[in-house]
A and B are shown apart, each in its own frame.
Chain A
Amino acid sequence: MNPQTPRPPDLPAPEPSPQVPPVAPPPQLPPEEPLPEKPDIKCLLEALLRRPQALVPRLVDGANGASKRFLLVAVVSFLLFGLVVGCFAKHEQLWAAPLKITAGMLFAGIICFPSLYIFSTLAGARVAISQLAACLAGALALAGLLLLGFAPAVWIFAESTDSLGFMGALTLGSWIIALVFALRFLKSVIFASGGTENGPLVIWSMIFLLVTLQMTTSLRPILGRSEAFLTSEKKFFLQHWGDSMGDNLPSQSAPAGTPR
């Protein structure tokens, strides 16, 4: 250090600027009561939305029926959302779309469940299979509830547009937002069960997302119309979306064509 360099005078400790208002302390919330031993459906949904960590000890006990209740909420929500999606093409899609969306989601949940168990264990969680099944059912119920929240908006657009691309983007956007919250719930439960690693859960989340997106193509037509209930043509979902992005719903009098 150069000895000629003048030493700066000691400055007093900076005081907080009078213009900057002090940050108010966060509001004190009253302590929350633990969930009852056998929570009813209202109690489960309230915990799902407000305090997912409180659900963890209740999900250990498979006899309290939480999984069944969550599954019921998920199925009813997916059926109702499917009905709204079916309002776009109407006709046979009024019953086919709810059926396909619900079956697709449940099928995706079932085929991804083994990998969820492995990846959550890799993440450090010490969780029983029945507990994890209840968590997955809870995540699907949460996604279903959020889809129900989007349902009025989706219906408005279903009645306003003929564009398959627009409706596809809207329903997929709704699904991705719902799924983000569902996966966040799953992560919070896994972390509350001892999980510490984020990486395995991120990988599993991507796998689950891809499976559900492929379901939209494998179970097509969901949005548009077709003479066939399902199609045997194999396609990757990106290819299918690219093919149908610019298409419109055929006029009501026209016969149903290629499955969309």
Chain B
Amino acid sequence: MHPSQLIHPEDGWLDEPDAARVMRVAFTALLGLGIYGFTVGYWRDPWMGVFVAMKLPMLVALTLLCNALLNGLLGLLLGSGLGFRQSFFALLSAFALAGLILGSLAPVTLLLAWNAPPPDSPYANSSHAAYMVGHTLLIGIAGIAANLHLHRLLLARAPGPGVATATLLAWLGGNGFLGAQFSWILRPFFGAPGLEVQFLRDNPLRGNFYQTVWRSIDHITGGFGVPALSLIVLVLMIPVARAIQSHQHHIPKP
């Protein structure tokens, strides 16, 4: 499949997605995320690179499959005009675009891994921290691009921009909530310098992403976890509320 087909999809992209098209898009996501994943883990160890190359597409696949019913129901109930297959395909297309962007950056991130101080050097900890920040930034950029793409796909089908935004936010909430827990289960991705190289940590299902984040916030703020978390939620809600409000203003009156 030509990348431009995915980046600039034609008007009927979501209409009747056949198995061949779904497979092509899924393969693009697999390839892009796999190549990028290899460069993420490569700094710690080449085997870690192989593991992450498998785990990154697995993370997307597990999130999409586990939330397939919920995403389809939300798409229908919010009036996006998309059925179950189309909702799944829209989300898969967005993940494939993120994969495409990250895959295209893989040569750069491989060079970054190649040139970073190795995990057994005295600078390993600062190198690991910088490496994580760099990749988080890139994944964030790809995620934003993918969501804008998804919003465009939704706008082409939904009866109004408000519906498209509401559907996007509902999907984002559901997939983000479950995806974060899957990323916890499938850890490690970056591979801390002092820890063993493993495909999964021992007892991967033990523990919970949100409880760990909560404990960290509570620890960092010296027991003021509740006000700190409230502030974080408020800060995160402001752009969401503004996006909804601005879209409501743009809805044409009948």
Contact call A26/B159, Cβ cutoff below 8 A:
yes
Chain B contacts for A142, CB-based, 8 A? 77
Count residues of A near B (Cβ-Cβ below 8 Å): 24
| Separation of A24 and B11 alpha carbons in the complex (Å) | 13
Q: Is the interface of B mostly helix, strand, loop or mixed?
A: helix
Chain A contacts for B207, CB-based, 8 A? 160-161
**Among B77, B178, B250, which residue has its beta carbon within 8 angstroms of that of A49?**
B77
Residue on A nearest B173 in the bound complex, by CB: A177
Chain A residues within 8 Å of B, Cβ to Cβ: 23-24, 26-27, 29, 49-50, 142, 145-146, 148-150, 152-153, 156-157, 159-161, 163, 166, 181, 184
Contact call A149/B205, Cβ cutoff below 8 A:
no
Known A-B contacts A29-B81, A50-B76, A153-B67; the reply to A23 vs B250 at CB < 8 A is: yes
Chain A contacts for B178, CB-based, 8 A? 152-153, 156
Residue on A nearest B72 in the bound complex, by CB: A149
Contact call B177/A153, Cβ cutoff below 8 A:
yes
Nearest CB of chain A from residue B231's CB, rounded to whole Å: 19
**Among B71, B182, B210, which residue has its beta carbon within 8 angstroms of that of A166?**
B210
Q: Is the interface of A mostly helix, strand, loop or mixed?
A: helix
Q: Could you list 12 examples of A-B contacts with CB < 8 Å?
A: A27-B81, A146-B73, A146-B77, A152-B67, A153-B67, A153-B174, A156-B66, A160-B206, A160-B208, A161-B211, A166-B211, A181-B77
Chain B contacts for A181, CB-based, 8 A? 77
Contact call B211/A23, Cβ cutoff below 8 A:
no
B58 near A: Cβ within 8 Å?
no
| Separation of A161 and B157 alpha carbons in the complex (Å) | 39
Chain B contacts for A146, CB-based, 8 A? 70, 73, 77
Nearest CB of chain B from residue A74's CB, rounded to whole Å: 15
Contact call B66/A153, Cβ cutoff below 8 A:
yes
B252 near A: Cβ within 8 Å?
yes
Contact call A150/B208, Cβ cutoff below 8 A:
no
- Select the residue from B77, B177, B178, B208 with max chain A CB neighbours within 10 A: B77
Chain B contacts for A166, CB-based, 8 A? 208, 210-211
